[in-house]
Amino acid sequence: MKLLQRSLVARIIASLLAITAMALVSIVVTMTVANDSRGDAGAINMAGSLRMNTYQIVAALQRYEQQPEPAQRERVVALMDHFETRLVSPALTAALPGAEDHPLRERHRTLQERWAEALAPQVTRTLDGGGLEVGAMRQTLDGLVGDIDAMVTLLEQNSESKLRLLSALQILFLALTAVVVAIALYDIRHNLVAPLHQLVVLAREAAQRNFAYRTHLTGNDELALLGRTFDGMAAELAESYAELEARASRKKVELERSNRAMEVMHEGSRALYGGGNDLCASAAPMLRHLEQLLEVGPLRLSLNDSFDDRQIPILATHSPRRPEYCRDHDCHACLLDPQPLKLEQTEQGECLLLPVSVGELMLGTLEVWHPRSQPLSDSVRRLLNALADQLATAVYLQRRIEEQQQVTLMNERAIIARELHDSLAQSLSYLKMQVARLERMQHKGATQESQAAVFDELRTGLDSAYRQLRELLTTFRLKLEAPGLASALRQTTREFGDRLGFAVELDVDVPPHLLNPNEEIHVLQVVREALANVLKHANAHWAAVTIAFQAARVRVAIEDDGVGLADDSSPPMHYGLVIMRDRAETLGGRMMLGNRPGGGTRVELTFTPQTARLIHQQASADGIAPAAGAAADPPHGNRSPG
């Protein structure tokens, strides 16, 4: 019973089983009644034939009375046997009830007694010659026929009672089935269809994000339990959905803030990487803007001092005064906040200390203060880490630029010192020796003619030193005003073209950044010296400068169509040519000069740049054969000073 109350499925199964059981019982009862009524029609026919059989016996007996022949006697005897056989035949007795006190059973015994005691003796007596008593025979016959009619009537009533019982049972089972079906339909309608409809409505409302609908199902069956579970799920979904919406809203705000912070950092990176050495002016606006977006502050940037092993405060937002190290009092990047925070206010907050580092190189720290009541989220921490990395990159690049500027300045000074030593210092040393020689000659009282030769050499040396000084000044101005060898060569050829009266052709085919500053200076000085010789000695109408990079070597050629050399060799003791050969040796190359086949002179300098030598050395160390022509010097043409 409790199972039927708790389970809708159990009730439906019980209803189906009850309907099935009643159908089976109805079928069994119908089959039983039908089987019991199977011989009733035969018994009625048999009983009806007994009545006809009695009339046949009486008719045959009357014919025998009129014509007493053996055939007629046998006919009467056969009819009597036939009557007795039918009276006790199974077709008749099988239809009789089993109870001995049943009226049919009693009527059958009465019929047997009347036949055996009344009619059969009279027929036997008539056949034995006793004569036919018509009155007595008729009276006996009427009684027997009445008994047969009564038996037939009882048989018919018995058969009709069975049919009425079968009809009553069918009606009863039909009514019971209808009742069970009605109860099942009522249960299905109220406990299955209606709850299912409410569950479908709940599912439809939940699909439309309406979690306020409830089924409010009562009971203990499956659908009631399912409805209460769905109600609880809808309530939990409503809470979860509301929480998710709130989280999504917060996440959207955080994403918008992070996006805006990334834009600020991106815009600030341009100022950081393009603002020169002014870190305060480029970083302070970005830091203040990030404070407003991320709701943190103040921010303090300190850099490590590698010499004193301490941290120096560089920049602080919300600062009421300048940092102690400040060297530019015209800068107000730290003092733009109209309401600076006091130190006592920051003591109520927490500090997040972020390293400002590039790889393993610690450059400094970034202090981020925030209220204790507002802890930093993961997204804010990631943005602050990105800010620290950006500041570290800017500081590192600034230091690298400063170091590179110092290295460049030292290289420039080294080049100037070397050039002064190789040219002007040697000339001055030569003049000093000539002055000492002149002093000794004067001390010994040498003649004016011998001293005049020394004075000529002093004058020539002074002119040479003055010319070298001018060349050096011109070269360094070209280098400083127009960076790059090609630009310096263009200015040089333009300068000498103006002095020669015709344009000097220039062809430069050298990859960028191939030559270092020292090599560029030597090449430029060789070109200027060769063009100076063309101006002084060649009497030319055409000149050309060609610089090319082929087979890992640089070839510098200066040609003209002037008078050339008398014996296709360089003049002896020519100071400019000596310096040019020294420069070629310094570059690790060769310099050759001679007459051109078409007239004039050709000066050619060939050397391997420092970068190409490094590549060759690396290839040799790796066991790779150098390219053809890269290891050996190519053939040199004739060279001569102009």
pLDDT in tens, 553-606: 899 999 999 888 876 555 554 656 777 888 888 888 999 888 888 888 999 999
Best CA proximity match to 228, nearest among 212, 217, 213: 217
> Which domains, from first to last, does the chain contain?
2-196 (1.20.120.1730), 255-400 (3.30.450.40), 484-642 (3.30.565.10)
Among 24-28, 73-77, 400-404, 504-508, which range has the highest average pLDDT?
Answer: 504-508
So what's the pLDDT on residue 569? 59
* Average pLDDT taken over every residue of the chain: 76
Q: How confident is the model at residue 635 (pLDDT cuts 50, 70, 90)?
A: very low
Asked which of 183-192, 330-339, 524-533, 628-637 is least confident by mean pLDDT, the reply is 628-637
Residue 43 has pLDDT above 80, yes or no: no
Collapsed DSSP state (helix, strand, coil) of residue 369: strand
For residue 48, how many C-alpha atoms fall within 13 Å in the half-sphere facing its CB? 9
Q: Are strands 361-371 and 349-358 parallel, antiparallel or unpaired?
A: antiparallel
Please enumerate in sequence order all residues whose Cβ is within 8 A of that of 437, keeping only pairs 6 or more positions apart, or say none.
454
User: Among 356-360, 409-413, 446-450, 523-527, which is the least confidently predicted range?
Assistant: 409-413
The winner for highest mean pLDDT among 46-50, 116-120, 163-167, 221-225 is 163-167
**Minimum mean pLDDT among 51-60, 103-112, 274-283, 338-347: which range?**
338-347
Q: Which is higher by pLDDT, 332 or 521?
A: 521
Give the whole-number percent of the chain exceeding pLDDT 70. Answer: 79
| CA-CA-CA-CA torsion sign (33, 34, 39, 44) | positive
Q: Give the pLDDT confidence score for residue 571 in this predicted structure.
A: 57
Taking the C-alpha atoms of residue 103 and residue 107, their distance in angstroms, rounded to an integer, is 6
Split at pLDDT 50, 70, 90, the class of 544 is very high
Out of 65-74, 255-264, 405-414, give the one with best mean pLDDT. 255-264
For helices 222-274 and 378-419, the axis angle rounded to 10 degrees is: 20
pLDDT in tens, 529-541: 889 888 888 889 9
Instruction: Give the pLDDT mean for 100-114.
Output: 77
Peptide bond connecting 298 to the previous residue in cis, omega within 30 degrees of 0: yes
Work out whether the CA dihedral 564, 568, 571, 575 comes out positive or negative.
positive
Residue 50 has pLDDT above 80, yes or no: no
